[in-house]
Structure 1
Amino acid sequence: MSRAYIMAFITVIVWGTAFTAIRASLHGGYSPGHLMLLRHVIASAAFILYAMWPGVKFKLPKRQDLLKILILGWIGISVYHLGVGYGEVTISAGTAGLLIGSSPIFTAIIAVIFSKERLDRNGWVGLFIGFVGIALITVGSSGSSFEISTGALLLIMAAIATSIYFVFQKPLFKRYSPIEVTAYVTWAGTLPFFFYMPGIIDTIQQATLEANLSVIFLGIFPSAIGYVTWTIALSLGKASSISSILYIEPIIAIIVSWLWLQEVPSSLALLGGMISILGVLVVNGLIKRKKKKPVSIVT
């Protein structure tokens, strides 16, 4: 197995556990805002320590890249994690994993709009299948056959945000290392979370031990290590091939949620997840460039 696939597999493991750790933190006394603030302060501190480590050469971003880094950080870190954090207040970890697992559907749409890529008839069929799956997950997450929950909509927003982030970060790899790119966007994305600074000390003191340990885990592993390993994987291999590994992330999320919190998605949500993944596979197999070259689909 190549280094790119090893890095991607590590990413899938730590990101798959993140949904359950978020739920554990929320159950243990954290609000979504305080959770995201502390999680990303920990991740940012880890990157600062790395950048200051003796012998490490860490380039500062160029002036012309600052605005792009800020926007990517706000979309890929701030918007994404707020969507996941507030979404998981009412949505189980496994169902959250299924909804985030639909992000390649939105990536395909972004590729069509902003890149020189096109969908043939079968590709549009794949998108339709994917959206049917997303609709079933959304309805199944509400516990009602005719209701769409706010939490599910927030998670869909997060899926769109992470798709935008992974598509538009690619050009930065030409000038910076994967860990530098990850550090920049993490620092940028952490800034809006300081809005939740009031009351953070009281929350830490009143939260359960499990919740505090979960936040530390989220800051070090999914937020720092997971983003670095995924960025390394993208920089080493073809995005269309590497991203296929992320299809097993919802499965890991469901298993960890069941073992840790005894949560299981509804049958309708599970059915929607399978249909959504089918749509993703169809789309990734049938998107083409105008010059008939393989497309790079990122999730």
Structure 2
Amino acid sequence: MGVRLLERSGRRLSLTREGQELYELARPLVEGLDGLDGAFRERIRGLDAGDLNVAAGSSTILYLLPKIVEAFRAAHPEVRLTLHNVTGAGGLDLLRSDGVDLAVGSMLDVPGDLSYAPVYRFEPMLITPKDHPLAKLEKLSLQDLSPFGLILPPQRLTTYRMVDLVFQQNRVPYTVALEVGGWEVIKQYVAMGLGISIVTAICLTDADRARLSARSLADYFPSRSYGVVVRKGKYLSPQARAFTELIQPDLFVRGDYYATGQSDR
């Protein structure tokens, strides 16, 4: 190629800057070879049978995927679909080890070895009991929320960290009355009057809106995108492509499939 790709330091060989650039270009192509045999067999077999493994968190499985899964099962009843209920980090581990074909969920930062195609966007919402003082205010501010205890997911999750960051940045004190996992539990406790909460609109159903007051906090908190994550260089089976087509047609064209960068949150 006319350039030096390796350099020696004592007994150690390392990549030059040019070598590193070539490595980054070649890695997705080489990784794609790992799945060549399986991809070939899937292509021959087509969509009449086979397996599809999808990683997703509880919220995605509960609120986002039911209609998509229903449509997929109706169109491809012979395909065995397995939904792996895992946290975000667990889903990425499964992607990297080829334990799943794809993941569906929300991403804040996209690692360089993965591709994320955001599809849906949901606003942050304040939920309170219907008769709560905050439900009667014409306009909400962060200061209005300060006197009331918050019910939030555990600290390790993105929602808690985002709430903490926004309050800290605006120098507004806040109190966490209760930490509990699961949007359904949080909504139930809010309805019981045990506190207020900040949730993503994905988890709010018509039944929730009948028993809770829901107000947008988009002026203060970022919206959350949800979409599909795949490993760069991995061949998407016909089953996986059929599933993504139900989410959004032409979701992974060649250019997007090898692109990198931040999610459009």
Q: Could you say which structure has the greater relative contact order, defined with CA pairs below 8 angstroms and 6 or more residues apart?
A: 1
User: Which structure: larger Rg?
Assistant: 2
More strand by share: 2
TM-score, with structure 2 as normaliser: 0.21
TM-score, with structure 1 as normaliser: 0.19
More helix by share: 1
